[in-house]
Amino acid sequence: MFALAWWIFVDGLCTTEAGVAGFEDWAGGIATTLGMIVISLIDKEALRGTDYDDHIPWRARLFLFLGFSMMAGGFAGSVAVLVVKYTSHMVEPPIPYLGIADVCLLANGDLINLAPGYTNRFILIGQKNRRQNIFGWGAGLQNLQPYVSVAANDLALNQTFFVRELKGLDLGNGQIHNGCVRVDDDGWSFGGCQMDLFVVSYVDYLWLYRELDVDRISVVPRNCTVLNYSTLDHLVYMDAESRNETLQWVMNDTLTLMDQTVAVYQNRSDGPF
């Protein structure tokens, strides 16, 4: 038990890259070692005593119990640390859940998009520090742009619209919206009479929800000029190349196939995808 506990916690410390070792990593091995030391120091002859009026036999048994408890606790703690800290976070879900924009950013910086014509198949469209396909694909050649791209099923692609409620809206990043949006995407998860505005993060969504505070918006077809509301923070959030040159490129970011664009995920269940 002593050797097994030591092997487990040393393996967790030395052969993984989950993070910096903390006290919890060493606690199991320390407890197991102390338990072994306590057991080794017990006078084994005292364990054979039968005179319970004598304090020596019951003290020896008490320390024996404490020693084995420390060893067992250290072993259990080592297993718990190995599983919780070093193993459980490495198990990836079998299905990547995507938002309204059908885009999913993976932990390694890969960006995957719902494959055209599929609801359960995804393709790799970009990797960490990319300069193209920064925020994901739309339904046409134009890629998604924060605070500009909307998804709609009953409006023509590339058509621009003026949204009165967005005019003059503080986006929380030092920029003011001019009210102009563009149809860059469609959606298989909703019907008509609906627009979904693309934002980068949940924080952006919460900000708009607080600032707008409306249930309906007024949309008017208009030949207006969309602006670039992307920030360096957005690029960092998306694991894209965070340079001013890349920021300027967002306005002209069009659908680009990678040299090795492959299907990377496929749903193996009868789930929502």
- Residues 230-239: pLDDT tens digits? 999 999 999 9
Beta bridge partners of 161: 181, 221
- 3-class SS at 197? strand
pLDDT at position 129, please? 93
Distances, alpha carbon 38 to alpha carbons 8, 30, 48, 63, 248, in Å? 21, 12, 18, 7, 67
In this predicted structure, what is the pLDDT of residue 42? 74
Pairing of strands 219-221, 111-114: unpaired
- Copy the structure tokens of residue 177: 């919206």
0.95 surpassed by pTM? no
Phi then psi for residue 137, to 5 deg, are -80, 155
Single out the residue of 116, 110, 113 nearest to residue 99, CA to CA. Answer: 113
Position 19 scores a pLDDT of 52
Residue 22: the pLDDT is: 67
Half-sphere exposure of 250 (CA within 13 A, CB side): 26
- Residue segments in the chain with a per-residue pLDDT below the cut of 70: 1-26, 43-58, 82, 84-101, 118-119, 188-189, 258-273
Identity of the amino acid at 25:
D
Q: Which pLDDT belongs to residue 266?
A: 45
Strands 149-151 and 180-185, sheet pairing = parallel
| 23-81 tens-digit pLDDT | 666 677 777 778 778 777 776 666 666 665 566 666 777 777 787 788 777 777 777 77
